[in-house]
A and B are shown apart, each in its own frame.
Chain A
Amino acid sequence: MSLRYICWRKLFVFDFILLILFSCNTNQTDADNAILQNDNFQSYLIIGKDSNYDKETRYNALDKAYKSLNTFDNDSLKVRSLSKLALAFNAIGEEEHYEKLNRKSLKLSEEINDSLGMARAYDNLGVYYRKKKLDSAYQFYYKADGIYQKLEKSQKYQKDSLAFEHGRVLIDLAKISRTVKDYSESDDLTIRAIQKFEQSGNERYIPMCYTSLGIIAKYMGRFEESIDYHKRAIESAKNTDKEKQYAVTGFNNIGTVYKTIGQFDKAKDYYKKGLEYQDYLLEKPKTKARLLDNLAYVKFLENSEDKDVVDILLNSLKIREENNDVFGIGTNTLHLAEYYHKKGQDSLAKMYAIRAKNASENINNNEELLSSYKLLTEVSDSKEGLEYARSYIKLNDSIVNDERTFRDKFARIKFETDELEQEKAEISKENEFLVIAVLGLTALFLLVYIIFRQQQSNKELLFAQAQQESNEEIYRLLLNQQVKLEEGRQLEQQRMSEELHDGVLGRLFGVRLSLDGINQRANDGFTEARNKYIEELKSIEKEIRLISHDLGTDTLTPDVAYIDVVESLISDLCHAHKMEFEFSNDENIDWEEVEDQKKVNLLRILQESLQNIFKHANATEVKISFGYEDGKINLTILDNGVGFKSTKVKRGIGLKNITNRVRQMSGVVDFISNQGDGTKVDVSVPM
Chain B
Amino acid sequence: MKKKLKVLMIDDHPMIIEGYKNTLLGENQNEYQIKIDIASNCDEAYDLILSSAKGNAYDMLFIDIKLPPSSDGTITSGEDLAKHAKELLPKAKIIILTMHREDHRIHNILKNINPSGFLIKSDLTSSELLQAFNNIVNGTPYYSATVNNHFRKMMNNNFSLDEKNLKILYHLSRGVKTKNLPNFVSLSLSAIEKRKNQIKEMFSIPKADDQKLLEEARKRGFV
Contacts and interface: CB of A to CB of B under 8 A. Distances in A.
Contact of B16 (A501, A507, A519, A545): A507
Nearest to A501: B99
A517 B23 contact: yes
Q: Find the residue from B18, B27, B122 having the highest chain A CB count within 10 A.
A: B122
A582 interface: no
Contacts of B121: 505-506, 509
Given A519-B126, A555-B176, A555-B180, A506 B27 contact: no
A444 interface: no
B205 interface: no
A514 B177 contact: no
Contact of B27 (A509, A512, A521, A534): A521
B122 A516 contact: no
Given A512-B19, A516-B127, A521 B26 contact: yes
Contact of B122 (A503, A507, A541): A541
A146 to B, nearest CB: 99
B91 to A, nearest CB: 27
B13 A513 contact: no
A485 interface: no
Given A501-B99, A542-B122, A517 B15 contact: no
Given A502-B99, A506-B99, A521-B26, A514 B18 contact: yes
B71 interface: no
A188 to B, nearest CB: 107
**Secondary structure type dominating chain B contacts:** helix
A513 B124 contact: yes
B20 interface: yes
A520 B27 contact: yes
Nearest to B126: A516
B126 A510 contact: no
Nearest to A521: B26
B125 A510 contact: no
Given A510-B19, A518-B22, A505 B99 contact: yes
Contact of A516 (B125, B177, B180): B125
Nearest to B124: A513
A516 B121 CA distance: 13
A325 B51 CA distance: 177
Contacts of A506: 11-13, 15-16, 99, 121
B53 interface: no
B126 A513 contact: yes
Interface in B1-42: 11-27
B174 interface: yes
B26 A517 contact: yes
B19 A514 contact: yes
A511 B126 contact: no
Contacts of B11: 506
A184 B27 CA distance: 164
B85 interface: no
Interface residues of A, number: 28
Contacts of A60: none
B25 to A, nearest CB: 8
Interface string B120-142: 01101111011000000000000
**Secondary structure type dominating chain A contacts:** helix
Contact of A520 (B20, B26, B122, B179): B26
B22 A514 contact: yes
A557 interface: yes
Contacts of A518: 22, 26
Nearest to A549: B174
B84 interface: no
Q: Find the residue from A503, A518, A555 having the highest chain B CB count within 10 A.
A: A555
B20 A513 contact: yes
Q: Find the residue from B16, B19, B25 having the highest chain A CB count within 10 A.
A: B19
B55 interface: no
Contacts of A557: 177, 180
Contact of A513 (B23, B174, B179): B23
A667 B121 CA distance: 57
B127 A510 contact: no
Interface in A89-136: none
B66 interface: yes
B103 to A, nearest CB: 14
Interface of B: 11-27, 66, 99, 121-122, 124-127, 129-130, 174-177, 179-180
18 contacts: A502-B66, A502-B99, A503-B13, A506-B99, A507-B15, A509-B122, A513-B19, A513-B23, A514-B18, A514-B19, A517-B19, A517-B25, A518-B26, A520-B130, A521-B26, A545-B122, A592-B177, A592-B179
Given A506-B121, A509-B121, A538-B122, 16 more contacts: A502-B66, A506-B11, A509-B19, A510-B13, A513-B19, A513-B126, A514-B18, A514-B23, A516-B125, A517-B23, A517-B25, A520-B126, A538-B125, A541-B122, A553-B174, A555-B175
5 pairs of A and B residues whose beta carbons are closest in the complex: A513-B19, A510-B15, A516-B126, A517-B22, A517-B23
